[in-house]
Amino acid sequence: MAAGAVLGAAGTDGTRVQTAPGGERPGAMEPAEGAARTLPSTGRVSVAGRISGAGRLSRGPHLRKLSGRLGVSPSGRALPPGSQENADPQKIAFLLRKQWTLYSVTPLYKFSSAHLKDYGRQLGAFIAAEKQKGLAVEVGVELGIKVAVSSLPGLKGSDQDHAAVLVQLSLKSSASQKKTEEKLIWSGWFCCVAGDDLSLNVLEDFTCLPLFLANGAESYTSLVGSWFQKTFDCCFRRLVISPLILTWMAALWTGYKVDKTSSAVELVFSVPCLPQPLDISYAIHTEDAKALWDTVQKTPGEITQEEVDVFMDCLYSHFHRHFKIHLSATKLVKVSTGIASARCDGIIKFLQSQYIIRVLMLLTELAVAQIQ
């Protein structure tokens, strides 16, 4: 939010469009001036646009509904009702507001949830051994890393889904010998929400937990990941999110109801082929975005690629009207809404516990697509 350029414009249809610097600072109004001022050559341009004439921006009359066109089709799937009910709210809360790096994981061979405690012990021993490797001369330092592997009940979409598995590494402070003083240094979890596409195709000995989310230093991710790869003959791969999927997320999450007014919908675009990186941040009030989406989306519970495209095109044309920038020529790199935020490099943050399952369902689908 460094750029100070203030861009203002009046909607041609007479509706007032207020723009202000600082993505999440609505209200700081500037008088409409007409043409946009020039952009700074580097840095970020933040625009908070208020779309009031959403109705006029809606699509033409003869749109055809396409379904299942996208490899990932979040459309037409009945959501598991109340699947989160038996989830421990505390554990769910733990997952919120953290940055999780996404990985896809191939099915685990001979994994058994009956042995989670043993796995924790073995993983702890493995980490201790790896940590001491190459430190022959460094003696007397105890690496008190405690590993806990537990199950996260409730985080599933259907009965076929395996219960999510949480791995936590915490540091035992050696100075004070008190057991209570454990500092959580890394956590990661495996989950599968409505991953039937994968689960149905594998054999008995395999456990499908195709999505892995890690928070903490990558060195620990690598240790834990290596151990799982060695022990359960699986394969981890970073899961990146394509711009196309990001538009889906933007549309989907905009459509979800949020209790109270939450932060704006923010889309970050990166302009390619510039000597210096230039990011454009485009923030829209949640209720405006929702209003726009509601006019675009026709059948409840079913979303088509075309609707997503129309939604994005509306946002693009609105932006173009004021700033003469074609956002469609840039690359969408981040979507952030009140539900969750996602980055193209595969980092996600959950913000609303009630929608975590739905977000995970989409992510599971992405992970399965990467595996198959």
Partner 1 sequence: MQRRQSSKHSKHVHDSNQTDLSAWRKERSIDTEKTVQNQQSPSDDSEHNSLEKALRFFEKVQDRVSLKKSEVLQKHLSTVESIGLQRGLPPEAFDTLLTVALSGKLADTVNTRLLKSLVPASVIPETSVVSSVSWLCVSKCTGSIQLLFLRWLITMFDFIDRKEQLHALYGFFFSFLYDDKLCPYACHVLYLLTRKENVKPFRVRRLLDLQAKTGMQPHLQALLSLYKLFCPELVNITLPGKSKTYFKNSEAPWKAAINTVRRRNQANSPVSQALCLGTAQPQSRKRKWNTQLIVPVSSANAQNLVGNREKNCVDLYSTIESFPVEQLQTFTQLLENIHCLEFPSQMGSVLANPLLLHYMNCIKDESIYLRLYYWMGQTLQEECTWCVVENNQYEQEFKDFLEIIYKAECFLQEGFSSCEEFLCRSLPLWDGLCCRSQILRLVSWIPLSSFSEMKSQICDPLAQLFFTSSLYFKCSVLECLKELLQNWLNRHVVQLDSESDNQFHSLNTTLSGLVNGIAELIHFVGWISTVALRLENNCTFLLYFILDFYEIVCDMYLKYNLPLLIMPPAGVFYPALLSMDSVSLNHLCYIMYRYRANLVAAKENELNKKKTQQFKFSSQTYQEYNQYIIAMVGCLWTSSAFQKDDHPQGVRLDEELLKQTGVQEFKNSFNIVYHPAMMGYAILFLQQACPDDTTFNFSLIKGKKWNWYLEYLYAQGLKGLKLFVESSINRVSQASQNKAGNVEV
Closest distance of CB 101 from partner 1, Å = 12
199 binds partner 1 (CB under 8 A): no
Closest distance of CB 35 from partner 1, Å = 39
Residues 6+ apart with CB under 8 A from 127: 143, 145, 147, 169, 220, 223, 224, 227
273 binds partner 1 (CB under 8 A): no
Identify the sign of the CA torsion 195, 196, 198, 204.
positive
Q: Which of residues 216-235 bind partner 1 (CB under 8 A)?
A: 218, 221-222, 225-226, 229-235
Distance CA 316, CA 313 (A): 5
200 binds partner 1 (CB under 8 A): no
User: Which residues, listed in sequence order, are joined to residue 348 by a DSSP beta bridge?
Assistant: 100, 342
Name the residue among 214, 200, 184 with its Cα closest to residue 105. 214
140 binds partner 1 (CB under 8 A): yes
139 binds partner 1 (CB under 8 A): yes
6: exposed, middle or buried (Cβ count in 10 Å: 0-12, 13-18, 19+)? middle
199: exposed, middle or buried (Cβ count in 10 Å: 0-12, 13-18, 19+)? buried
Pick from 44, 131, 237, 331 the residue near partner 1 by CB under 8 A.
237
242 binds partner 1 (CB under 8 A): no
236 binds partner 1 (CB under 8 A): yes
Pick from 1, 2, 29, 141 the residue near partner 1 by CB under 8 A.
141
Closest distance of CB 223 from partner 1, Å = 8
Q: Encoding tokens for residue 74?
A: 């979040």
Name the residue among 266, 264, 312 with its Cα closest to residue 292. 312
186 binds partner 1 (CB under 8 A): no
Whole-number Cα distances in Å, 169 to 78, 88, 134, 211: 36, 20, 21, 19
Closest distance of CB 57 from partner 1, Å = 37
212 binds partner 1 (CB under 8 A): no
Name the residue among 341, 370, 351, 363 with its Cα closest to residue 191. 363
Residue placing its CB nearer to partner 1 in the complex, 112 or 262:
112
Residue placing its CB nearer to partner 1 in the complex, 33 or 218:
218
Q: Which of residues 67-126 bind partner 1 (CB under 8 A)?
A: 106-107, 109-110, 112, 115, 118-119, 122
Name the residue among 370, 345, 344, 106 with its Cα closest to residue 236. 106
Among the listed ranges 22-30, 198-206, 283-291, 292-300, the one in contact with partner 1 (CB under 8 A) is 198-206
Count residues contacting partner 1 (CB under 8 A)? 33
Residue placing its CB nearer to partner 1 in the complex, 78 or 200:
200
> Which residues form the interface with partner 1 (CB under 8 A)?
106-107, 109-110, 112, 115, 118-119, 122, 137-141, 202-203, 205-206, 218, 221-222, 225-226, 229-237, 371
